[in-house]
C-alpha cells in the first residue's frame, strides 16, 4: 500500500479539533473521478464544517478493504504514529466505514472518526435553516445512528429491566436504545407529514399563478447561489464552500420582455450522496419537478466538471424529472478560464449552452435572453377534451386567456386552446391533480 499526501494549511486559531482527512483509493473500484480530485472534494467537505482545523489530507491506496479495520495493520500503525505526532483529534475518512471498522479504528487510534456519511450529516445539521430542513436532517441522522449503536455498546451482555421473578432478564441496552430511536423516527415522520401538507398547499397556490418556475440545479459549489443573488438581488448565503445552500429559496423576477418568472435555488448535488440523505432531501428537491425550465449550473473551470454534470443528471433522472422539461446548461466561472480555453468556443457553438460568470456578471444578458426564449410564446392550437369534474383546469385556461372555443361533448367539454409549451404543461398538471 502506498499513500499520497495532499498538503494543506491549517487555519489555526480557536478551532477545537485538529483533523486528518483520508481518501481510501481501493484498487478495482469503479469511480469516475481521480483519487486526487476526490481527496480535494473531501478536503472541501471538511473545511465546510465549523470548528475543524485540517492538518493534513492523504490518498491511501489499498489493494482491498480489510473487513476489520479497512486498512492493513501496517498502515493502521503508520497512521497511529502520525495521529500521535500531530496531536490529531478527528479522522475523516472519505468513503463508507462499517460500524465494526469505525469501532476498531477509534479504539486503536484513541480518537473520534467520521466517515463520508457522518461528515455530510454534520454539515447538513449545521446549515439547515427551515423547519423541514432541520427535521429532514434529524431523521437522516437517526437512521444513520441506528446502524451504529454497536459502537457505543461493546458490553452487549449488559441488561436492564426485570427483577428476575417473571420472564427473562429484560432487554439489552442496545435494544432499548434502538427502540428509543424508532419512537423518535415515528415522531419526526409525523411532523414531516404536516410540513409536507403545508408545502403542497403552497405548491397548489403557485400552480394557480400563471408564472413559470425556473429551477437552478447543479453540483455543490458550482455557483448557483451567487447566480441566484445576481439575478434576483437577494442575499442568499453564497460562499466558496460545499453546501453553502441547503434549503430551497424562491424569488419572483421579471424578464426584459415583461414575463414574470419564479426563480428557485436548490440544494447542491454531490457524488456518493449518503442514501439516508437522498431519501431525506427528496422532498426538498421536489421543487425541481414543478419547474418549467431547469438551469443546470456547472463549474466549468473545475477539472472534474464532466463527472459532476453526470452526477447531477443521474440524480435528476432518479427524481423523475420529465424529459420534455426544457433545460439550459449554464457554464459558470468563465472568469477562471484563459481567453483561449476551448470551453468558451464550445459554448458559443453549442445550442442550449450559455457561458457566464456569476461573480463578474459576464454573459448574464445572454442567459436572461435564453431564459426568455425557452419560456417564449411559441404557440400551437390544440383541441382538448376534459371531464365536467376538471373545472379547475378549465378556469385556469380562461384566466390565462388561451381558450379560443368551447363545445360540449358526451363526456364533458372540448376546449380549443392556443398555448405555449409552458402553458400546456401547466394545464396538464392541473388535470392530474385532485380537483
Residue range 376-417, pLDDT digits in tens: 755 678 899 999 888 888 998 898 788 999 999 988 999 999
Asked if residue 256 belongs to a domain, the reply is yes
Indicate whether 49 pLDDT > 90: no
Residue 18 within any structural domain of the chain: yes
pLDDT at 8: 43
Backbone torsions φ then ψ of 254, nearest 5 degrees: -115, 125
Q: Can you tell me the distance from the alpha carbon of 217 to that of 311, in angstroms, rounded to the nearest whole number? A: 12
Residue 423 lies in a domain: yes
Label residue 432 by pLDDT band (50, 70, 90): confident
pLDDT of residue 236 exceeding 90, the answer is no
Secondary structure element (H or E) that encloses residue 55, with its range: strand 52-62
Q: Do 365 and 426 lie in a common domain?
A: no
Within 10 angstroms of residue 66's Cβ, the number of other Cβ atoms is 15
Nearest to 299 by CA among 239, 230, 358: 358
User: How remote is the C-alpha of 309 from its chain's centroid?
Assistant: 13
| Residue 242 or 115, more confident | 115
Which has more confidence, 144 or 157?
144
Percentages (nearest 5) of helix, strand, coil residues in the chain:
45, 20, 35
User: Percentage of the chain surpassing pLDDT 90?
Assistant: 29
pLDDT at 119 over 70: yes
Q: What is the pLDDT of residues 341-374, one digit of tens each?
A: 999 999 988 989 999 999 999 999 899 889 988 8
Q: How far apart are CA 83 and CA 4, in angstroms?
A: 16
Q: What's the domain count of the chain?
A: 4
Sign of CA pseudo-dihedral 322, 328, 329, 330? negative
Taking residues 255-275, what's their average pLDDT?
76
Q: Are 362 and 384 part of one and the same domain? A: no
181 and 270 both lie in a single domain: no
279 and 336 both lie in a single domain? yes
Q: What is the mean pLDDT of the chain?
A: 80
State how far the Cα of 406 lies from the Cα of 312, in Å rounded to an integer: 43
Averaged pLDDT for residues 88-98: 92
Tell me, yes or no, whether 215 and 318 share the same domain.
yes
Clarify whether residues 115 and 99 are in a common domain: yes
Instruction: Give me the half-sphere count of Cα atoms (radius 13 Å) on the Cβ side of residue 25.
Output: 17
Q: Is residue 337 part of a domain?
A: yes
Average pLDDT over residues 25-33: 72
Q: Are residues 236 and 215 in the same domain?
A: yes
Residue where one domain finishes, among candidates 355, 374, 393: 374
Round to whole Å and give the CA distance between 140 and 181: 12
For residue 347, what are the contacts with CB-CB under 8 A and spacing of at least 6? 300, 331, 334, 353, 354, 355
Note whether 178 and 85 are same-domain residues.
no
Model pTM above 0.75: no
Task: Evaluate whether residue 160 is within a structural domain.
Answer: no
Helix intervals (H) in 259-363: 275-280, 282-285, 305-319, 342-349
Rounded-to-integer distance, Cα 139 and Cα 131, Å: 12
At residue 72 the predicted structure's pLDDT band, cuts being 50, 70 and 90, is very high
What was the pLDDT predicted at 151?
A: 43
**pLDDT over 60 (residue 263):** yes
Q: End-to-end CA distance of the chain: give it in Å, rounded.
A: 63
Q: Are strands 171-172 and 159-160 parallel, antiparallel or unpaired?
A: antiparallel
Task: Determine the structural domain holding residue 141 and report its residue range.
Answer: 128-155+170-207
Closest CA to 426 of 334, 297, 293, 318: 293
Distance CA 291, CA 264 (A): 9
pLDDT higher than 70, residue 331: yes
pLDDT at 276: 62
**68 alpha-carbon distance from chain centroid:** 31
For the domain that residue 407 is a member of, what is the CATH number? 3.30.70
What average pLDDT does range 67-88 have in this prediction? Answer: 94
Q: What average pLDDT does the segment 170-175 reach?
A: 62
Same domain, 348 and 283: yes
78 HSE (CA, 13 A, CB side): 10
Amino acid at each position: 500500500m502506498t499513500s499520497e499526501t495532499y498538503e494543506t494549511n491549517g487555519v489555526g486559531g480557536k478551532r477545537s479539533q485538529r483533523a486528518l482527512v483520508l481518501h481510501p483509493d481501493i484498487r478495482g473500484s469503479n469511480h469516475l473521478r481521480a483519487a486526487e480530485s476526490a481527496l480535494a472534494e473531501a478536503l472541501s467537505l471538511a473545511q465546510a464544517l465549523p470548528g475543524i482545523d485540517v492538518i493534513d489530507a492523504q490518498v491511501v491506496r489499498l489493494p482491498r478493504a480489510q473487513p476489520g479495520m479497512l486498512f492493513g495493520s501496517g498502515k493502521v500503525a503508520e497512521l497511529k504514529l502520525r495521529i500521535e505526532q500531530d496531536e490529531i483529534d478527528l479522522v475523516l475518512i472519505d468513503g463508507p466505514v462499517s460500524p465494526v471498522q469505525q469501532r476498531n479504528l477509534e479504539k486503536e487510534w484513541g480518537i473520534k472518526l467520521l466517515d463520508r456519511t457522518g461528515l455530510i450529516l454534520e454539515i447538513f445539521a449545521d446549515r439547515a435553516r427551515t423547519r423541514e430542513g432541520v427535521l429532514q436532517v434529524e431523521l437522516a441522522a437517526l437512521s444513520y445512528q441506528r446502524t451504529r449503536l454497536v459502537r457505543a455498546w461493546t458490553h452487549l451482555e449488559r441488561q436492564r429491566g426485570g427483577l428476575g421473578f417473571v420472564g427473562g432478564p429484560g432487554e439489552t441496552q442496545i435494544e432499548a436504545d434502538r427502540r428509543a430511536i424508532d419512537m423518535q423516527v415515528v415522531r419526526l415522520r409525523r411532523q414531516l407529514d404536516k410540513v409536507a401538507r403545508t408545502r403542497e398547499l403552497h405548491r397548489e397556490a403557485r400552480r394557480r399563478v400563471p408564472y413559470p418556475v425556473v429551477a437552478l440545479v447543479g453540483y455543490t459549489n458550482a455557483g448557483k447561489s451567487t447566480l441566484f443573488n445576481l439575478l434576483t438581488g437577494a442575499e442568499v448565503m453564497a460562499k466558496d464552500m460545499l453546501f453553502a445552500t441547503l434549503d430551497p429559496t424562491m424569488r419572483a423576477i421579471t424578464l426584459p420582455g415583461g414575463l414574470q418568472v419564479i426563480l428557485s435555488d436548490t440544494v447542491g448535488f454531490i457524488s456518493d450522496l449518503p442514501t439516508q440523505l437522498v431519501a431525506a432531501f427528496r422532498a426538498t428537491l421536489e421543487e425541481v419537478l414543478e419547474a418549467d425550465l431547469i438551469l443546470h449550473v456547472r463549474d466549468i473551470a473545475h477539472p472534474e466538471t464532466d463527472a459532476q454534470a453526470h452526477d447531477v443528471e443521474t440524480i435528476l433522472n432518479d427524481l423523475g424529472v420529465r424529459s420534455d422539461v426544457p433545460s439550459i446548461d449554464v457554464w459558470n466561472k468563465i472568469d477562471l478560464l484563459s481567453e483561449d480555453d476551448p470551453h468558451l468556443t464550445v459554448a458559443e457553438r453549442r445550442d442550449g449552452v450559455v457561458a457566464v460568470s456569476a461573480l463578474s456578471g459576464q454573459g448574464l444578458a445572454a442567459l436572461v435572453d435564453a431564459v426568455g426564449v425557452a419560456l417564449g410564446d411559441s404557440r400551437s392550437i390544440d383541441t382538448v377534451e376534459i371531464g365536467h369534474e376538471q373545472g379547475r383546469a378549465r378556469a385556469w385556461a380562461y384566466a390565462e386567456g388561451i381558450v379560443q372555443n368551447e363545445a360540449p361533448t358526451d363526456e364533458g367539454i372540448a376546449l380549443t386552446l392556443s398555448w405555449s409549451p409552458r402553458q400546456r404543461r401547466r394545464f396538464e398538471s392541473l388535470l392530474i391533480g385532485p380537483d
